[in-house]
Amino acid sequence: MDGDVDSDDDGDGNDNQPLLSLPNSLRHELKDPMGPVETDPGILLEAVDGPLIAVGDVVTYHLLEAGRAPDVALIDGYTKRETVDAEVERVVNDERPEGDHTTLEVANPPAVLTRPLLEALVEGLERPESVTIVVDGEEDLAVLPALLAAPEGASIVYGQPDVGMVHVTVDAETRASARGLLERFDGDVDRALALLEG
């Protein structure tokens, strides 16, 4: 990763301070799915052409069970604010196809995006092996930075509670939508975008 990304520009020495915070005025807009919703992971995977980023334990579990390890998976051990069951935990943490795999650990409290999470996302996408980012806190908002950091044509898959899996393809339209939402967050938007689009 670029050396400048690692510098602590805020001077307080605490990288886990929120870089961006979700304002209450945006919460309702993020409830609508950003792409088509699918309940069958096999059918969803037929539409995947390129890198695959999974946001959430249950989504990651279903993709692994369908035989496709995400290139980058973000998990936090919870679903709908409840601890995931033992089977999901076992599969997302232990069951990987043969080949290289890396685990990164970051802190990211609910309703915020920290610099370590954004950096881990960028690093995960740059690595040739599959990467699991284990989040201490909450990974839900990672969908938006993933849409900016992932290459054109990549697939972002995340869970829509009690509905299914949302499949968003990275293109100019979905990038613009994600960027427009992030620009309305509280915090250092310019710094966050520089990390993701740099």
Distance CA 68, CA 107 (A): 26
Residue among 162, 153, 187, 144 at smallest CA distance from 51? 153
* Helices 86-94, 57-65: inter-axial angle, 10-degree rounding: 70
Does residue 2 have a known ligand-binding role? no
Other Cβ atoms closer than 10 A to 43: 12
Does residue 162 have a known ligand-binding role? yes
Does residue 143 have a known ligand-binding role? no
Does residue 190 have a known ligand-binding role? no
Report the number of secondary-structure helices (H) and strands (E) in the chain: 7, 12
Does residue 76 have a known ligand-binding role? yes
Q: Using DSSP, state whether 38 is helix, strand or coil.
A: strand
Burial profile 84-122: b = 16 or more Cβ within 10 angstroms, e = fewer: beeebeebbbeebeeeeeeebebebbebbbbbbbbbbbb
Does residue 12 have a known ligand-binding role? no
Which residues make up each annotated binding site for GTP?
57-59, 76, 139, 162
Query: Which residues are annotated binding-site positions?
Result: 57-59, 76, 139, 162
